[in-house]
Amino acid sequence: MTVLSTHSLSLRCGSRLLLDRLNLQVHAGEVWAVLGVSGQGKSALLRHLAHLPMPAVFQVQGELNWRDKAPTSYRRAERAQMVAWMPQQDFQPFECTVAQRVLVGRYPHGSTLGWESREDLALLSEALEQVGLKGFESRVFQSLSGGEQRRVSMAAALVQQASLMLLDEPLSQLDWHHQVDLVRLFKPWAAKAGGAVVWVSHDPNMALQFSSHCLALMPSGEHLTGPVSLFRDAGVLSRVYDCAIGAVRPAHFYFPVADDYT
């Protein structure tokens, strides 16, 4: 089943071409990592895939479909139930508890804070345990570290039970231990939910280890898509990141090469 698809999708920022005619098909059970240098349009693309309003400086052309239908063909409540979007930064202007922040993810299912169902509370407990924050329900969200807040945001996406998760740098501000714990959730979740995950990563090693497919955005609107095996190549990664990439074999760990470093 095709969960997400684009046809001839192009993205510009002012006069700069970020993405040129992307034809993408994301199927149920797949985990897609979006790679590329900073400023190449990864976050903007993810925002468009979530069918969220774009800043005026961006121009988008082409088709976007969820389960073979345009997002506008669904009611607002249906769209919120289908797609969970985790932004790069989780700004909460008003003080709230961890439980309140996570349960926002239940709004599309008719739940409201103060009237949580048993199912809502069970999902809250399960999600917090999955992200390693069991017992944090009453903690104030704004009192947490940046990494803890990222994990709370991931829990909110999990309880939404959407068929498509769009995650913008979900591993930022996390130490290795919690990065691995979080990224290990992607494939089992996609398989269990019959959905898919698309996530932005600045760490190709994590992306290639825990994803099934990759989409790389490159200069001048170029892009490369395919299974992770296509990207397990120092030459391909050198093109994606516009710098020399070396590899440690047989583990396939990649690193930037600086020949003039002393």
Closest CA to 158 of 84, 87, 97, 108: 84
The 10s digit of each residue's pLDDT in 138-160 is: 999 999 999 999 999 999 999 99
Q: Which two tokens stand for residue 62?
A: 């082409």
Secondary structure E strands in 118-244: 164-168, 196-200, 213-217, 223-227
Question: Is 173:75 a contact under the CB 8 Å cutoff?
Answer: no
The 10s digit of each residue's pLDDT in 180-198 is: 999 999 999 999 878 999 9
255 has a pLDDT exceeding 90: no
Distance (Å, whole) CA 166 – CA 79: 13
Closest CA to 103 of 122, 76, 90: 122
Per-residue model confidence (pLDDT) at position 90: 84
- Work out whether the CA dihedral 60, 30, 130, 126 comes out positive or negative: positive
The 10s digit of each residue's pLDDT in 81-108 is: 999 999 998 888 889 999 999 999 998 8
Alpha-helix residue ranges (DSSP H) falling in 24-161: 42-49, 76-82, 98-103, 118-130, 146-159
Per-residue model confidence (pLDDT) at position 136: 97
207 has a pLDDT exceeding 50: yes
Maximum separation of any 2 CA atoms in the chain, in Å? 62
State the CB neighbour count (10 A cutoff) for residue 98: 25
Per-residue model confidence (pLDDT) at position 261: 46
Tokens 């099934």 correspond to: 212
Average pLDDT score, the chain: 92
**What's the whole-model pTM score?**
0.93
In three-state secondary structure terms, 119 is helix
Q: Rounded to a whole number, what is the distance in angstroms from the first to the last CA of the chain?
A: 52
User: What helix, strand, coil percent values describe the chain, rounded to 5?
Assistant: 35, 30, 35
Per-residue model confidence (pLDDT) at position 91: 81
Question: Is 127:155 a contact under the CB 8 Å cutoff?
Answer: yes
The 10s digit of each residue's pLDDT in 34-71 is: 999 999 999 999 999 999 999 999 999 999 999 999 99
Taking residues 19-43, report their average pLDDT: 97
Distance (Å, whole) CA 251 – CA 169: 24
Query: To the nearest whole percent, how much of the chain has pLDDT over 70?
Result: 96
In three-state secondary structure terms, 115 is coil
Q: Which domains does the chain have, with CATH numbers?
A: 1-67+163-262 (3.40.50.300), 91-158 (no CATH)
